Amino acid sequence: MTHSNNLSETARSAITQQLEARPTLAGQSARSAGKKIEIAESLPVWTLSADLGEAQEDDLDRVAVSAGQWHLQIHHDDSPEEFVIAVNDGTGDETWRVRATFSSPLAKQIDEALKSIDHRAISKLRLLVVPSRQIYALWFKKDGVSYVLVAYMPNRHERHLRYKHHYGGKDFLTALKQTERIKGLPAPPVERSRQNDRVRKRLRDWAPKCLTDCVLKRLTERRENLRWGLLTLGTVAALGLCACWVAHTGPARPPPTGSVSVDLTTKWLVVEAVIVVAWVFVGCFAYRRPDGIFIDDRYRISLSRFQWVVWAALLFGAYFTESVWNISHGYSIPRLQPDLLKLMGIVVTAPVISNVIVDHKKSDSSRSSSAPGARPTFPTLPTPAPAAGLPAQIGSIDRNVTPSEASWADLYLGEEVANRNVVDVSRLQKLIITLLLVITYCEMLWEQLGHVVVAAAAKSTPSVGAAMPSVDTGFLWLLGISYGAYLAYKATPKTPSS
């Protein structure tokens, strides 16, 4: 491939010396393996602002702004493995400074885009970055006309943009305006300021300015606590209404002779719906996603959280319904059988052990998929925050950069960097068995709650009234073996040790 020569040999030499003085783990590994490390393409970085929807210009030259830094591709034996962000602190070529070095798949994606361009027929090759859309593209001129070729973008933009497609400058801006901003990144406080302006305008007529500012400050500071408090009160109120509804179901007093059957399935489903809606709001408040309650601190949808939340909702909803009905009709609180307590013990203990394993792997800095065989005694550059949408890690554990990157595929894909794109059989079997057992227990609850017996001798007969269905030994063994196999496989390192 033709290497661009936008930087002078003096500037390249200054940057090379800094890279040799402070190599990354990947660079140390390549150097110890005898690989040749060199600077390949050097591209000036230009950016587009977040206000694409309000931009009226269709000329890319007027909308794009220079970032004042350069992107340099780093090759290990002609293989793009890293890239460098460099800036010039002065006016001479000797004043170039390396701001950050990244070992990232983005280097290969940019290299593939560069290979699809005829370098002899183009001019002014630049790297165009759209931070609000997490898009990296090549911007160049051909016969005086601007063209853009997308090198990287999140999958959600594929409806409007295509990889390695030569867009005209105007066509690219048109397609870019149709894409959505990536959620999870800090949004500009435009809407909040407009809302505060409306509140200030309403208060201005009857309150002094000091009181107005005080009210706005209190509203801003307590907004988070207020919505969580309202969610808690709303959930408690909804469960209270459900309790009143359940309490008034069935005969007010036992029949003088014989028995009657009461159906509580509808009430149970409504209670479960209240719990699910409350947890949807929890997810939206925490991560702006309805499934946010399943997202852990690595911004992945956690399998342990998923099974924990599903079992908790199922057992709590059923026990709440049965307890309210029994108490309101003179029966005792449903007794939890020993087998059901064992079930709850397995469900609660497994996620705790799983988190202990994950925390241990997070702190294991001796494992890295990008630098097998690296020697950690060499000085390294501080690791900058990775770009959103690109793979990242904590120790040997895979993580996302923003909550918006969490995917339901995380339930069955590997958790380590080495197997992040591989189906983890232990996780898949745990997911399938958990769903099967949950469905089985739901069927048992449906039968139990659909035929609650109210008899004349109810108070002295243990077999009447609502009760939690017990599970057999095979149920517990299947659940325990599934969780045990999952934890044992999870504890095994997948990333080679350095």
Q: What is the pLDDT of residues 387-433, one digit of tens each?
A: 444 445 566 677 777 788 888 888 888 887 777 788 888 889 999 99
Identity of the amino acid at 227: R
Residue 498 lies in a domain: no
User: Is position 4 within any domain?
Assistant: no
Q: What is the mean pLDDT of residues 49-76?
A: 76
Tell me what pLDDT residue 489 has: 86
How much of the chain, in percent, has pLDDT values that exceed 70? 76
CA distance 134 to 177: 13
The pLDDT value given to residue 163? 78
Question: For residue 384, what pLDDT is reported?
Answer: 43
SS3 track for 331-390 = CCCCCCCHHHHHHHHHHHHHHHHHHHHHHHHHCCCCECCCCCCCCCCCCCCCCCCCCCCC
In percent, the amount of the chain with pLDDT more than 90 equals 13
pLDDT at position 217 is 55
pLDDT at 188: 37
Average pLDDT over residues 138-155: 86
Q: What is the pLDDT of residue 338?
A: 85
Q: For residue 455, is pLDDT > 80?
A: no
| Pair 154, 249 in one domain | no
* 92, 97, 102, 108: CA torsion to nearest 10: 10
Q: What is d(CA 160, CA 118) in angstroms, rounded to the nearest whole number?
A: 25
**Same domain membership, residue 132 and residue 281:** no
- Report whether 16 contacts 7 (CB < 8 A): no
Residue 299 pLDDT > 80, yes or no? yes
**147-161, 359-373, 374-388, 483-497: least confidently modelled range:** 374-388
Residue 230 and residue 214 in one domain: no
Quote the pLDDT of residue 432.
92
What does pLDDT average to over the chain? 77
**Region 450-466 average pLDDT:** 62
Tell whether 140 and 242 lie within a shared domain. no
Indicate if the pLDDT at residue 289 is higher than 70: yes
The two structure tokens encoding residue 451:
């035929």
Structural domain range at position 440: 224-491
Using the predicted structure, report yes or no on whether residue 442 has a pLDDT greater than 90: yes
Query: Is residue 33 domain-resident?
Result: yes
Together in a domain, 127 and 263: no
Work out the average pLDDT over 181-205. 49
Give me the number of domains the chain comprises.
3
**Can you give the pLDDT at residue 280?**
92
Range name among 68-72, 78-82, 416-420 with the lowest pLDDT average: 416-420
The per-residue pLDDT for 358 is: 79
Residue 195's pLDDT is what?
A: 47
Q: Does pLDDT of 113 surpass 60? A: yes
Block residue for tokens 């036992």: 254
SS3 254: coil
- What is the model's pLDDT at position 242? 92
421 class by beta-carbon count within 10 Å (0-12 exposed, 13-18 middle, 19+ buried): exposed
Is residue 106 in a domain?
Answer: yes
DSSP symbols for 62-91:
HH-EEEEEEEEEEEETTEEEEEEEEEESSS
Same domain, residue pair 173 and 194: no
Q: What is the mean pLDDT of residues 182-202?
A: 47
pLDDT score for 390: 46
Residues 197 and 81 in one domain: no
157 and 18 in a common domain: yes
User: pTM above the 0.85 mark?
Assistant: no
Same domain, 326 and 408: yes
Q: State the CB neighbour count (10 A cutoff) for residue 50.
A: 15
Under the banding of pLDDT at 50, 70 and 90, the label for residue 369 is very low
For residue 240, the model assigns a pLDDT of 92
- The strand pairing partners of 452, in sequence order, are 262
Residue 462 has pLDDT above 50, yes or no: no
- pLDDT for 175 equals 85
Half-sphere exposure of 183 (CA within 13 A, CB side): 12
C-alpha span between 336 and 48 (Å, rounded): 61
Confidence of residue 187 (pLDDT cuts 50, 70, 90): very low
- Encoding tokens for residue 303? 């399998």
**Least confidently predicted of 210-224, 362-376, 403-417:** 362-376
Residue 2 lies in a domain: no
The pLDDT score that the predictor gives to residue 65 is: 86
Give mean pLDDT, residues 104-108: 86
In a shared domain, residues 229 and 216: no
pLDDT at 435: 92
Q: Does any domain span residue 381?
A: yes
In a domain, 250, yes or no: yes
Q: Verify that 355 and 454 share a domain, yes or no.
A: yes
282 located within any domain: yes
Question: Looking at the structure, do residues 301 and 394 belong to the same domain, yes or no?
Answer: yes
- The answer to which of 264-268, 301-305, 354-358 has the lowest mean pLDDT is 354-358
Which pLDDT band, with edges at 50, 70 and 90, does 459 fall under?
A: very low
